[in-house]
Amino acid sequence: MSNVIQTPTLLAAAITTALLAGCAGQATSESTAAPAAEKSMAAATMAMAGPAPLAPLGEPPIPPDNLQSPAKIELGKILFFDPRLGGDASTGCSTCHEPDQGWAWAEDFSRGYPGTVHWRNSQTIINSAYFPRQFWAGSASSNESQARGAARGGVAGNGEADIMEARLRVIPEYVERFREAFGTEWPIVRDAWRAIASFERTLVQRDTPLDKYLLGDKSALDAEQLKGKEIFEGKGGCIQCHNGAITSDQDFHNIGIPPNKRWEEDGLAQITFRFEQYAKGQTQEGYRKAKSDWGFYYRSKNAWDKGKFRTAPLRYLKYTAPYMHNGVFYTLEEVVDFYDRGGFDEDGRTTLFKENKSSLIKPLGLTDDEKGALVAFLESMSGEEMLMDKPAMPEYAPLFTKAELEAAQEAK
C-alpha cells in the first residue's frame, strides 16, 4: 500500500506548491492559468525526489475573477462579523471563527447553529487564502465556496440564499457598500461570499519565526526549535505531508485519529452524527453502521478513502487548539505523543479504518527532549496573535417612506 499512497501524495504536494507559486505570480503579472499549469507539471516531475521543502509564505494567490479592492475588503470584514448571514440572524462566520479563539472555535466540535452542535473542528481563517482545498474533506476549493457552504450548512449557518440576500437589501449601508464594491443595484448574496473571501485574503501571517528563518534570519529560531526542525524533516517524518510554504500537501490521509468519544456521551452530537451520514449521501448500510467520521470517503465513495482527511496546515496552530478534524487533542504535546505512538491516543485508540491507515504513520521513538523540541518548532510556525475588534454592524432601515406607500395605495 505504501507506494500506491505515497507517490500521489508527493505528486499532489508538488502540484500544490507549484500552483501556489503560479497563482502568486498571476496576482501581479496577470498571466493566464496555462503557464502556471505547465510550471506545476514541471515541478511535479522534479519533486518525485522528495517532499517540497518548507518555504516562506509568499503573497496569497488572488483569483482573477475576484480581485482585491479596499471597498470589497472592508465590506467583507463587516459581513464576516455579521450574524445576519445565517438562518436566524444569530450565526455568522465569526460565530465559529472567533478572532480571540484563533479565528476558530476552542472546542472539539465547532459550536454549530442554535439547536445543534457541529461534528468537526472549526479551522482557523488565518492563511486560509492559500489553501486550494478547504473543509476537512476538501469539499470547497476556494474561500468563496467555503463561505457559501458554511453559511448554508444545516449545523453551521443554516441560512438560505434568498432570505440572506433579502436581509442584505434592507440594510442601506450594505446596499451602498455592495454598489461600490460590485457595481450592482442591490446586494447579491454571491457577492457577499466574494467580499468575505477578499477580507479573508488579508488575514495572512508571513512573519512567523519560521518565515524569518527561511528568509535568512538565522537567529529567528533558537537551538531547541532548530533541533525540532531537524526532527520535523527527519526522524519525525512530519514533512512527508506537512510540507511546502503552507505546511500541507493538501492531500487526504488516514493518520489514525480515533473517533471523538463525545459521540458516545452527548445526545446532541449523536443527532448531528446521523444527520451528517444522511446529508453526505451515505448508503443505508453506511448510515446504520458508521461510528466515526468517514472523511474523504463521503466525497469519493471509495472504500480506501474512509477515515482520510485533508492534511491540516500547521501555521498559526499556537492559537487554534484543539487539534485534528474532530478536535480530540487539546495540546500540541498530545499531538506529538499521538504521532510518536504511531497514530494511537493515550488509551491506545486509533482509526476504525485500520486498513486505510497511512503507512507513513509508525512509532517514532522520540525522546522527551525530542518531543519538546518538536513542539517548540511547531510553535515557531505561529507569529503574534492576530486580534481584531468587531466592526460596528450597519442597521436595518425601511426602504420606503409612509408617504410612498400611501401614494401606492392611492394608485391601486
Residues recorded for the chain = 412
Binding to another protein, residues 69-88 (CB under 8 A): 84, 86-88
CA distance 8 to 254: 14
51-59, 357-365, 385-393, 396-404 -> range binding another protein (CB under 8 A): 396-404
Q: Which is nearer to another protein, 69 or 292 (CB)?
A: 292
CB of 357 vs another protein, minimal distance in Å? 19
Q: Which residues, in sequence order, are bridge partners of residue 140?
A: 134
Residue 267 to residue 353: CA distance in whole angstroms: 24
Is residue 266 near another protein by the rule CB under 8 A? Answer: yes
In DSSP notation, 7-56 reads HHHHHHHHHHHHHHHHHHHHHHH---HHHHHHHHHHHHHHGGGSPPPP--
Q: 224-263 mask for another protein (x: CB under 8 A)?
A: ---------------------------------------x
> Residue 270, interface with another protein (CB under 8 A)?
yes
- Using the rule CB under 8 A, which residue among 3, 28, 49, 162 binds another protein? 162
90 versus 302: smaller Cβ distance to another protein: 90
* Residue from 275, 300, 337, 394 in contact with another protein (CB under 8 A): 275
The amino acid present at 152, given as its one-letter code, is R
The answer to whether 198 contacts another protein (rule: CB under 8 A) is: no
Three-state DSSP at 311 gives: coil
Three-point CA angle 17, 62, 137, nearest 5°: 55
Query: For cell 450565526, what's the residue?
Result: 91
Residue type, 96: C
Nearer to another protein, 273 or 309 (CB): 273
Q: Is 154 in the site for another protein (CB under 8 A)?
A: yes
400 binds another protein (CB under 8 A): yes
Residues 40 and 38: their CA atoms lie apart, in Å, by 5
Q: Would you count residue 165 as binding another protein (CB under 8 A)? A: yes
Distance CA 412, CA 400 (A): 17
**In the complex with another protein, which residue's Cβ is closer, 262 or 325?**
262
Bridge partners, residue 295, by sequence? 308
Size of the site for another protein (CB under 8 A): 56
Least distance between another protein and beta carbon 82 (Å): 12
Pick the piece of the chain touching another protein (CB under 8 A) from 25-33, 59-67, 141-149, 151-159.
151-159
Cell numbers found for residue 410: 392611492
Q: Which of 235, 289, 354, 390 binds another protein (CB under 8 A)?
A: 289
Contact 278, 119 (CB under 8 A): no
Could you identify the residue written with the cell 487539534?
Answer: 323
Query: With binding defined as CB under 8 A, does residue 281 bind another protein?
Result: no
How many CB atoms lie under 10 A from the CB of residue 27?
Answer: 18
> How far apart are alpha carbons 252 and 283 in whole angstroms?
22
CA distance 90 to 94: 11
Q: Whole-number minimum distance, CB 58 to another protein, in Å?
A: 40
Tell me: does residue 402 bind another protein (CB under 8 A): yes
Residue 296: how many other CB atoms lie within 10 Å: 24
Choices 5-13, 123-131, 226-234, 287-295; region in contact with another protein by CB under 8 A: 287-295
Which one-letter amino acid corresponds to residue 159?
G
Binding of another protein by 160 (CB under 8 A):
yes
67 binds another protein (CB under 8 A): no
Piece of 164-172, 210-218, 293-301, 329-337 that binds another protein (CB under 8 A) = 164-172
Question: Which of these, 121, 95, 119, lies nearest to 107 by C-alpha position?
Answer: 121
Binding mask 91-130 for another protein (x = CB under 8 A): ----------------------xxxx--------------
Q: For residue 104, which phi and psi values (nearest 5 degrees)?
A: -140, -155
Q: How far is the CB of 405 from another protein (least distance, A)?
A: 5
Assess 288 for contact with another protein (CB under 8 A): yes
Handedness of CA 181, 183, 187, 189 (dihedral sign): negative
| Euclidean distance between CA atoms 323 and 329, whole angstroms | 5
Residue 405 interacts with another protein (CB under 8 A)?
Answer: yes
- Binding-site ranges for another protein (CB under 8 A): 84, 86-90, 113-116, 154-155, 158-160, 162-163, 165-167, 169-171, 186, 263-268, 270-275, 277-279, 287-291, 396-400, 402, 404-405, 408-410, 412
